[in-house]
Chains A and B, each alone.
Chain A
Amino acid sequence: MSGFAYRQKVTGEGTRQIVALCIPGDAIDFQNMFLSISDHGIQILTRAVVADIPREPLQQLMLKRPAIGVAIIHSTLIEASILREWVVNVGRRDARARIAHVLCEFAVRLEARGLASKDGFELPMTQEQLGDATSLTPVHVNRVLKGLQADGLISRQRRNIQFTDWRALQDTADFTRRYLHLPGEDEIALAAK
């Protein structure tokens, strides 16, 4: 309901990969309704308030009300689409594009839920966590963020990020919002003029 969480998996060697970010309005573990074993971990990033829904009534709702069932499938499909994009992000983009892509995605998702203003947004992640989401070292993340700032694409004050050149940031990230399946046009309001 409020706050942020992330999904993570840990390899046999003990390195962590963050595989998804959850923002307010996301269901963080609906899959546990029918898949009995959880295949990943969920951690809270910031102070968060969640609504706990008992498993049984939710199952009944899914089975008895087709429209709700389809809505739940819809949200899982969007999650899957974002995951596909993350495979591409860590698989084929360079460090600068990876970080820029995570920033673009996060901003667009927040804005679609009415959670970002045109002043920018609060990035609820440390540089270490950003590194785990992009398979980079914290040092590398730091260098990339400084680079994006030096090139005038973003400005930062602590964790507050502003987009000073939204179009250039999107180009750097190779970001198009199609995979988020949001209504609305390509431009987002929080892009600074």
Chain B
Amino acid sequence: MSEAHLLEPLVRRWSRRLPLSADDRSAILALPATKKSFGKDAYMVREGAHTTECNLLLRGFAYRQKLLSDGERQIISIHIPTEFIDLQNGILGTADHNVQSLNHSEVAAVPRSALMELTDKSASARLAMWIDTLIDASIFREWVVNVGRRDARARIAHLLCELALRLERTGAGRDGSFDLPLTQEQLADATGLTAVHTNRTLQSLRREGLIQLSNGILRVLDWEGLRKVGDFDELYLHQKI
């Protein structure tokens, strides 16, 4: 695969949201991109690092997390292919959180300087980057609500609704089944719950016939039911502009 082709998924995703001219497309595809692979749980970005590149996720999953001084972990987002895992580092320079690979993943690493040049050259790319940032922020707002104000059942159901919907939009998943290699511990860290509480909650969602989650596969059996338990309204994902 040539280097330019690495960024084709990005061109496709951005062009679904806004018109990209031929010049915009070639400017994006001309970005120097290097393919990198990460193993399960490998650190992709470390908090405090001065970053020199931004990474577009090509395969697998990644998650952002912060560690507290007492060693507790909070997962703050989960990323799926064609998303940037650290676009902010193109502009901010110092990483304010960690990013880890959930399973085996691949990214296209783009030098920060080249990305900044792109924002200078292409108004559409600038706008697309900003919209990505805005949607990230919108999802973070919803996560504050999720861990702040929903009970355990709703938190887990909400997170599963969000991931299923985002995956579905990228064409991943079939018949309500999605690859979702999240451990119960990671689910707990994403919802601010204990592992035991998470386990009990998943069992109850399963008993009620809403979902199955095993061997890294999520099956949504009753979409409306799960949505209701999760108090889920997809508006904040801004899929339609």
Contact = CB atoms under 8 A, between A and B. Distances in A.
A120 B70 CA distance: 29
Interface residues of B, number: 51
A83 B141 contact: yes
A86 B70 CA distance: 17
The interface residues of chain A, by DSSP majority, are classed as helix
A85 B120 CA distance: 30
B30 interface: no
Contact of B119 (A17, A69, A83): A69
B231 A88 contact: no
A179 B48 CA distance: 10
Interface string B131-150: 10111111011111101111
A80 B192 contact: no
B236 A17 contact: no
A88 B91 contact: no
Nearest to B95: A178
Contacts of B177: none
A86 B97 CA distance: 13
Contacts of A79: 137
B96 interface: yes
A20 B74 CA distance: 18
B155 to A, nearest CB: 10
A80 B80 CA distance: 18
Nearest to A93: B68
Contact of A13 (B74, B77, B231): B231
A14 to B, nearest CB: 10
B94 A181 contact: yes
A188 interface: no
Contacts of B91: 70, 73-74, 77
A157 interface: no
Given A39-B238, A84-B64, A92-B73, 19 more contacts: A11-B149, A17-B148, A17-B149, A19-B141, A31-B137, A37-B238, A39-B141, A39-B235, A62-B126, A69-B123, A72-B130, A73-B91, A79-B137, A80-B133, A84-B77, A87-B147, A90-B148, A90-B192, A91-B191
Interface of A: 7, 9, 11-13, 15-17, 19-20, 31, 34-37, 39-40, 62-64, 66, 69-70, 72-74, 76-81, 83-88, 90-93, 134-135, 174, 178-179, 181
Interface of B: 47-48, 64, 66, 68-70, 72-74, 76-77, 87-88, 91-92, 94, 96-97, 116, 119-120, 123, 126-127, 129-131, 133-138, 140-145, 147-150, 191-192, 231, 235-236, 238, 241
10 closest A-B pairs by CB: A91-B192, A83-B140, A135-B148, A12-B231, A90-B148, A91-B147, A80-B137, A179-B96, A88-B74, A39-B236
